[in-house]
């Protein structure tokens, strides 16, 4: 048993996909724009300028809150968080303090549930560029909408934190709230990491508390994690660094550290000697919001079925293999297309459709990334193909060929093709053919008879060759077994 | 002498082609030239040359019949309204060279209606005060006695209207900053319900309290200006979407059937004898005009003053955070600073904020600090709710209430700086109204030793029309608003007795005295 436990909570910022900034009409798309060209008196913090809330951002916050099983506040307000820094033009950031829009959420990952404390809305600060002996400020980013999600200190290893962040990113992309590209800063993940002696602390109501005279070790916040895959590394590095210090009799301090991915280490940024006093003040410029349950219900009805629920449906009710379901759902765009194409299929047909889609359709999309899929057409194609496969009118191979042909040329008369490709299910005709093949191929026959049952594949292959793929494979196999074992 | 006209009179003259917009504007600019050294109303006066395009445009509108009642009317704006391309200082050194790139909604609406903004008026620095003595530039004086301050914070607006340097002005009230100088200068001023007039482009003092409004020569003019500047503004989320009434359509000629409340606790407050006498006279007059006077129990005004002080200071400390010398405003030499915090500190202290602004920042910062915000800020918010309830209860018994506008007449220069809570005392009758966000109007109610006093009428939320109606009936039956102050030497001794009725006598104030030195001096 290790002496020290790892305790991690996550603070994750992400930029919602709005056209304009949080409190003004400037464009929120600041990426690679000429510096200070997307500004106005409001986001420059000019005297007398007033913030006006972006309603779209509120809708997106509710949307992501619902997707993460949060409660949506009936009453929510904005507060001013004060501190001086050149990237903060008003001397305060408009954020949400004690009445966040979303609270008490959770995310289930496999057998584990991780609780989310809150999600709130705020505005981003400007971008600073430090040169040798001067600094530049670009206010294009100032006032860009930002959501901050805070988890409880629920994570006991780096893998869990990584899984959570990854899953979270998938969900916010899936519901269309954010592109969550970490390299563009659209998603930032900051773990709060501490190590505590095993058995000497308790965890209740989302709080770590000391048992007896035990004094809790301070937590370290790690910033500048530029990619989701670094989260685990950074946490694991911090664990060993902190444990090493304690083992060597050192003392930990509350600090902010920065992840240096090249060196694979964290570096001290600044100490947090005492809790900073942000002098929160309800923002008198923005009236508090009352969020009607009707609005919440309306937004809930626009939520897509999340991949977790869909996976459950595919695997448990449609009999899709888990790996197949994962492969389909991993790619949000493809998963959406698949959902559209299969929306009128019976549960029993979805499995076949999944195999067909993942093989042929995905291959086609990969080869032709710019082609716009005609999902309405594909919907009828998939319905016809899965019906034909269910009734054994055609075999899987034929279905693939017909799908390919339709993808290549949407004008293909796929119904006609299905009719003309009807497979041979005539037993006596097939029996004659099988007997002929057995006579011509003594080797696989001998192999089969000596116990190598896999050799039957070779015999089936020959039959398919002779029927140009039109034989009913299931029937052929049955007949071969019957003949060989009689 | 056109500058002595009211909006209504000037408008009539312009339409009847008795004079031109050019002549009207020029008479105001001339008046400023000869009188401003006495009253110190203006921080910026725009030149005739600069105004020419606006004058021509207004004249064209009048000639073509496409005008409003304020087209071509020259006005002044408190230097707290941001005006595009025109220096806006908030009377602070920290904004000495600040030229906004945007226009406040109030001045924008006036501009669209064709009014001509001829200058920006002095105020207490960032509106912190009730005397303009905290201004970094000058002290405005009441034209009734230039040894005395004009009140504040919209003091320059008050003196500019009272000294007939313009036809009307726009000011702002956080707690009495329109009423106080209007009373000290003997003019009519109105602050609307919080959210009735947009705050966009008004440099913020106490954001949950700030209410811009007109300062005019008559109630009639006040209604005309309010009708133009009031109403929903998509740039200010705290403005009300409620439709504005036609304020200028004031038809009431009697107060019969109207219940006017007199808060006992307000009348019991310590005040100058003359102020009390004038208030009681006004009450009698209102009764005479048909109103039923009802004594009302209201919370002592001291509670509202305490609540106001805490809320306002807290919001001030926050609102003034943006002045860091980085994007605009006072920029100290950065080479003398080793850290950014040192630089920000220098920008704010050295040649930045004045004493009163610093004092308010410090008190507000304290009131919002961890451990104290519960005791002060949060407690004040709770009491604020009680005050609102208290007024609501009272307005079930009466339609409107009254009080003196201020407990004293204009104070000698220097009086304000001696007392850090000067404004809170001077505006004791304005704090409750401010905290509850009620509309209030002040009209001249007489003189004490040659200095004007004011009668304040205030009603429930969005009762601007009623306030204007009652004030108009009172004003139609009194003469106080017609008196014109004499500027110049010994002006302190002049007052009601020697004041002249412009319309009856048609003569101008004593021009001879203009050559004498004014009392007091610039800071």
Say which CATH number the domain at B233 has: 3.90.1300.10
User: B152: which DSSP letter?
Assistant: S
B441 pLDDT above the threshold of 50: yes
CA distances from B162 to A175, B78, B139, B185, B427 (A): 63, 14, 15, 6, 20
Q: Which of the listed residues A245, A261, A290 is the one where a domain comes to its end?
A: A290
Residues lower than pLDDT 50 in chain A: none
Domain that residue B259 falls in: 2-299+387-512
Q: Judged by CB atoms within 8 Å, which residues 75-94 of A form the interface with B? A: 80, 82, 84-86, 89-92
Q: What share of chain A is helix, strand, coil (3-state, %, to 5)?
A: 40, 20, 40
pLDDT score of A314? 92
* Dist. CA A30–CA A45, nearest whole Å: 18
Q: Is residue A300 part of a domain?
A: no
Q: Is residue A192 part of a domain?
A: yes
DSSP B191-209: E-STTTB--TTBPPSSTTT
B165 pLDDT above the threshold of 60: yes
Q: Is residue B77 part of a domain?
A: yes
Cβ atoms of residues A386 and A378 within 8 Å: no
pLDDT score of B488? 61
Residue B322 forms contact with A (CB below 8 Å): yes
pLDDT score of B491? 40
Cβ atoms of residues A198 and A3 within 8 Å: yes
Q: Judged by CB atoms within 8 Å, which residues 14-43 of A form the interface with B? A: 41
**A204, A350: one domain:** no
Residue B76 bridge partners (DSSP)? B119, B169
CB contact under 8 A, A48 and B341: no
ipTM: 0.91
Q: What is the torsion angle, in degrees rounded to the nearest 10, for the CA atoms of residue A434, residue A440, residue A442 and residue A448?
A: -20
**A346, A411: one domain:** yes
**A285, A159: one domain:** yes
- Report pLDDT digits (tens) over B362-413: 999 999 998 888 899 999 999 999 999 999 999 999 999 999 999 999 999 9
Mean pLDDT of chain B: 92
Residue A411, Cβ neighbours under 10 Å: how many?
7
* Dist. CA A180–CA A184, nearest whole Å: 8
Cβ atoms of residues A62 and A299 within 8 Å: yes
Residue A289 bridge partners (DSSP)? A76
Q: Is residue B324 part of a domain?
A: no
Q: Is residue B333 part of a domain?
A: no
pLDDT score of B102? 98
Q: What SS3 state is found at B322?
A: helix
With b for 16 or more beta-carbon neighbours within 10 A and e for fewer, the A88-98 pattern comes to bbbbbbbbbbe
B80 phi and psi, to 5 degrees? -110, -15
**A340, A221: one domain:** no
Chain B: residue nearest A79 by CA? B318
Cβ atoms of residues B144 and B194 within 8 Å: no
pLDDT score of A463? 83
Strand stretches in A288-443, DSSP E: 289-290
Considering only the C-alpha atoms of chain B, give the largest distance between any 2 of them, rounded to a whole number of Å. 71
* Dist. CA B223–CA B244, nearest whole Å: 12
Among residues A308, A307, A313, A315, which one has the least CA distance to residue A334? A307
**A126, A251: one domain:** yes
Give the number of beta-carbon pairs within 8 Å between A and B.
104
Structural domains in chain A (count): 3
Cβ atoms of residues A37 and A140 within 8 Å: yes
pLDDT score of B497? 36
- Report pLDDT digits (tens) over B464-523: 999 999 999 999 999 999 999 988 643 433 333 333 333 333 333 333 333 333 333 333
pLDDT score of A271? 87
What is the average pLDDT across B324-337? 89
Name the band, by pLDDT with cuts 50, 70 and 90, for residue B417. confident
**A135, A251: one domain:** yes
Q: What SS3 state is found at B445?
A: strand
What is the average pLDDT across B118-146? 97
Q: What SS3 state is found at B294?
A: strand
B144 phi and psi, to 5 degrees? -80, -20
Residue B204 forms contact with A (CB below 8 Å): yes
**A42, A139: one domain:** yes
pLDDT score of A435? 83
Say which CATH number the domain at A435 has: 1.10.10.410
List all residues 6 or more positions away from A64 whose beta carbon is below 8 Å from its beta carbon.
A16, A102, A119, A147, A171, A172, A175, A177, A178
pTM reported for the whole predicted model: 0.88
Q: Is residue A466 part of a domain?
A: yes
CB contact under 8 A, A48 and B203: yes
What is the average pLDDT across B436-455? 98
**A76, A219: one domain:** yes
Q: Is residue A385 part of a domain?
A: yes
Structural domains in chain B (count): 1
Q: Which of the listed residues A420, A440, A461 is the one where a domain comes to its end?
A: A420
Which residue of A52, A91, A279 is in closest CB contact with B369? A279
Q: Is residue B50 part of a domain?
A: yes
Which residue of B80, B238, B317 is in closest CB contact with A285? B238
**A47, A120: one domain:** yes
CA distances from B193 to A343, B46, B177, B210, B391 (A): 56, 31, 14, 10, 14
Please state, for a pLDDT cut of 70, what percent of chain B lies above it: 93
CA distances from B353 to B94, B359, B418 (A): 6, 10, 19
**A137, A180: one domain:** yes
Question: How do B74-78 and B168-173 pair as beta strands?
Answer: parallel
Cβ atoms of residues A128 and A137 within 8 Å: yes
Q: Which of the listed residues A239, A255, A290 is the one where a domain comes to its end?
A: A290
List the single best residue of B312, B316, B363, B370 to mutate versus A (max A Cβ within 10 A): B370
* Residue-level length of chain A: 486
Cβ atoms of residues A404 and A364 within 8 Å: yes
Which residue of B318, B323, B328 is in closest CB contact with A281? B318
CA atoms within 13 A on the CB side of A321: 6
pLDDT score of A110? 85
- Report pLDDT digits (tens) over B265-313: 999 999 999 999 999 999 999 999 999 999 999 999 999 999 999 999 9
Q: Is residue B373 part of a domain?
A: no
Q: Is residue B372 part of a domain?
A: no
Q: Is residue A481 part of a domain?
A: yes
Q: What is the torsion angle, in degrees rounded to the nearest 10, for the CA atoms of residue B369, residue B370, residue B371 and residue B373?
A: 50
CB contact under 8 A, B88 and A286: no
**A348, A256: one domain:** no
Q: What SS3 state is found at B356?
A: helix
Catalytic residues of B, by residue number, are: 78, 153, 177
Q: What SS3 state is found at A271?
A: strand
Q: Is residue A298 part of a domain?
A: no
Residue A288 forms contact with B (CB below 8 Å): no
Q: Is residue B339 part of a domain?
A: no
**A41, A156: one domain:** yes
Q: What SS3 state is found at B179?
A: helix
Question: How do B259-263 and B292-296 pair as beta strands?
Answer: parallel
Q: Is residue B403 part of a domain?
A: yes
Cβ-based contacts of A84 with chain B (< 8 Å): 321, 324, 340-341, 344
Domain that residue A461 falls in: 427-485
């Amino acid at each position: 048993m290790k002496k020290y436990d790892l305790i991690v909570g996550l603070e994750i910022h992400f930029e919602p996909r709005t056209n304009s900034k949080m409190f003004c009409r400037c464009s929120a798309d600041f990426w690679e724009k000429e510096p200070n060209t997307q500004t106005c008196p409001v986001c420059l913090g000019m005297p007398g300028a007033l913030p006006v809330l972006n309603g779209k951002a509120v809708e997106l916050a509710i949307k992501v809150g619902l997707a993460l099983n949060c409660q949506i506040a009936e009453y929510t307000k904005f507060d001013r968080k004060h501190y001086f820094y050149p990237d903060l033009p008003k001397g305060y950031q408009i954020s949400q303090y004690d009445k966040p829009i979303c609270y008490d959420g959770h995310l289930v990952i496999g057998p584990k549930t991780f609780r989310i404390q809150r999600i709130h809305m705020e505005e981003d600060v400007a971008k600073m560029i430090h040169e040798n002996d001067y600094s530049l400020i670009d206010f294009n980013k100032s006032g860009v909408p930002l959501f901050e999600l805070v988890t409880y200190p629920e994570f006991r290893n780096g893998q869990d934190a990584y899984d959570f962040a990854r899953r979270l990113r998938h969900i916010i992309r899936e519901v269309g709230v954010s592109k969550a590209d970490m390299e563009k800063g659209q998603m930032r993940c900051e773990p709060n990491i501490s190590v505590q002696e095993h058995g000497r602390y308790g965890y209740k109501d989302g709080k770590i508390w000391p048992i007896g005279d035990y004094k809790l070790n301070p937590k370290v916040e790690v910033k500048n994690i530029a990619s989701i895959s670094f989260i685990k590394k950074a946490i694991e590095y911090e664990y060993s660094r902190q444990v090493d210090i304690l083992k060597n009799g050192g003392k930990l301090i509350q600090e902010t550290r920065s992840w240096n991915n090249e060196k694979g280490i964290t570096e001290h940024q600044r100490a947090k000697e005492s809790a900073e006093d942000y002098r929160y003040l309800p923002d008198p410029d923005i009236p508090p919001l009352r969020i009607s349950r009707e609005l919440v219900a309306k937004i809930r009805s626009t939520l897509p079925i999340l991949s977790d629920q869909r996976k459950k449906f595919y695997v448990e009710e449609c009999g899709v293999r888990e790996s197949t379901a994962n492969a389909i759902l991993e790619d949000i765009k493809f998963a959406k297309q698949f959902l559209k194409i299969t929306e009128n299929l019976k549960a029993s047909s979805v499995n076949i459709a999944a195999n067909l889609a993942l093989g042929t359709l995905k291959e086609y999309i990969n080869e032709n990334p710019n082609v716009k899929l005609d999902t309405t057409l594909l919907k009828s194609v998939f319905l016809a193909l899965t019906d034909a496969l269910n009734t054994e009118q055609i075999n899987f191979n034929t279905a693939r060929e017909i799908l390919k042909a339709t993808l290549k040329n949407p004008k293909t008369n796929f119904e006609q093709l299905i009719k003309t490709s009807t497979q041979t299910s005539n037993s006596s005709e097939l029996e004659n053919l099988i007997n002929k093949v057995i006579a011509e191929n003594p080797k696989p026959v001998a192999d089969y008879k000596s116990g190598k049952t896999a050799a039957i594949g070779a015999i089936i292959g020959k039959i398919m060759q002779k029927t140009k793929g039109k034989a009913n494979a299931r029937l052929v196999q049955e007949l071969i077994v019957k003949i060989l074992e009689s | 002498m056109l500058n002595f006209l009211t909006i209504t009179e000037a408008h009539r003259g312009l339409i009847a082609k008795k004079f031109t917009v050019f002549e009207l504007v020029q008479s105001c600019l001339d008046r400023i030239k000869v009188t401003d050294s006495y009253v110190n109303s203006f921080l910026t006066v725009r030149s005739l040359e600069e105004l020419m395009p606006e004058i021509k445009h207004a004249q064209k509108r009048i000639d073509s019949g496409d005008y409003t009642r304020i087209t071509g009317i020259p006005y002044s704006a408190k230097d707290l309204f941001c005006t595009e391309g025109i220096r806006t200082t908030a009377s602070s050194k920290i904004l000495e060279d600040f030229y906004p790139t945007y226009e406040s909604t109030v001045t924008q609406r006036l501009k669209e209606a064709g009014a001509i903004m001829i200058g920006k008026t002095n105020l207490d620095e960032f509106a912190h005060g009730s005397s303009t003595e905290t201004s970094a530039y000058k002290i405005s004086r009441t034209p009734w006695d230039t040894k005395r301050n004009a009140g504040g914070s919209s003091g320059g607006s008050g003196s500019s209207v009272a000294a007939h340097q313009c036809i009307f002005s726009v000011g702002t009230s956080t707690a009495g900053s329109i009423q106080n100088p209007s009373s000290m200068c003997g003019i009519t001023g109105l602050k609307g319900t919080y959210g009735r007039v947009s705050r966009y482009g008004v440099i913020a003092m106490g954001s949950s309290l700030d209410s811009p409004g007109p300062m005019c020569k008559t109630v009639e003019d006040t209604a005309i200006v309010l009708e133009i500047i009031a109403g929903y503004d998509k740039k200010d989320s705290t403005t009300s979407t409620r439709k504005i009434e036609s304020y200028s359509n004031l038809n009431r000629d009697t107060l019969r059937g109207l219940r006017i409340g007199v808060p006992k606790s307000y009348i019991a407050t310590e005040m100058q004898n003359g102020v009390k006498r004038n208030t009681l006279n006004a009450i009698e007059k209102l009764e005479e005009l048909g109103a039923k006077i009802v004594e009302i129990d209201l919370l002592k005004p001291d509670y509202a003053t305490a609540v106001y002080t805490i809320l306002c200071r807290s919001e001030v400390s926050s609102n003034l955070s943006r002045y860091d010398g980085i994007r605009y405003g006072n920029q100290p030499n950065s080479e003398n600073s080793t850290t950014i915090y040192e630089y920000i500190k220098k920008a704010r202290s050295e040649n930045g904020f004045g004493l009163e602004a610093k004092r308010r920042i410090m008190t507000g910062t304290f009131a919002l600090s961890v451990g104290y915000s519960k005791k002060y800020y949060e407690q004040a918010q709770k009491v604020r709710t009680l005050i609102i309830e208290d007024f609501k209860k009272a307005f079930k018994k009466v339609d409107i209430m009254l009080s003196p506008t201020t407990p004293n007449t204009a104070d000698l220069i220097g009086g304000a700086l001696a007392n850090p809570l000067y404004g809170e005392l001077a505006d004791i009758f304005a704090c409750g109204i401010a905290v509850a966000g009620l509309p209030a109007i002040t009209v001249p109610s007489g003189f004490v030793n040659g200095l004007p006093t004011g009668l304040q009428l205030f009603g429930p939320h969005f009762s601007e029309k009623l306030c204007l109606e009652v004030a108009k009936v009172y004003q139609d039956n009194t003469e106080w608003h017609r008196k014109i102050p004499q500027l110049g030497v010994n002006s302190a001794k002049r007052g009601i007795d020697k004041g002249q009725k412009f319309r009856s006598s048609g003569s101008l104030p004593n021009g001879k005295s203009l050559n004498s030195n004014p009392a007091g001096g610039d800071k």
